[in-house]
Amino acid sequence: ASRPQFNKAPPPQQRQQQQQVVDESEYVDRSQCSVCNRYFATDVLDRHEDFCQRQKAKARKVFDSRKARMEGTESEGYIRVVAKNEKDEEKKRAASLAAQSKWKQQSLEFRNTMRAARKVDAVLKAGGTAKDLPPPTYSDNSHLTPCPHCGRRFAAETAERHIPKCAMTVNKPKPPPKLRR
């Protein structure tokens, strides 16, 4: 049995030379479209420019790949339901923006606390006393659940775990200091 003969590809140098010759000869009698800036043969350019201007004038319809995928399937009836879910996604995006603003708020509170600590250090190094300092500012922890036994504040899930344990604790820690207002 004889093996079939295949044409071997030319060596890389020869291929590059062939491509360069083809590329240079392609652009000899071509002109640029004034609308889309693409190059066309001069005999085709007039016809293309007419078509190109008409296409540019039309408003292009947005392609909905989800709808195109679902067309002709059993799930075609659920297309409207998916559109309603997009509103839920918008709500989630709005919630994530609110979470970012919460993060920003916490960041600003932390920065203010650090500034206040630097001021305290500066007053104490200068020979002042704690009475010379303004009253400290406290961050807003109203969203945290307070423990009825020790007075500390926790996130909802953490409070559920902590409160039963704290009720059974014999040596309870001192509650945090009350706010001076």
pLDDT in tens, 78-122: 766 555 566 677 677 777 666 667 778 788 888 888 988 898 888
pLDDT score for 159: 92
Give the mean model confidence (pLDDT) for residues 35-49.
Answer: 88
Question: For residue 4, which phi and psi values (nearest 5 degrees)?
Answer: -70, 145
pTM given for the model: 0.31
Give the mean model confidence (pLDDT) for residues 55-61.
Answer: 82
Helix (H, G, I), strand (E, B) or coil at 146: strand
pLDDT at 8 over 80: no
pLDDT at 128 over 70: yes
pLDDT score for 25: 55
Torsion of CA 93, 97, 103, 109, to 10 degrees: -160
> Mean pLDDT in the chain?
78
Cβ(119)–Cβ(130) below 8 Å: no
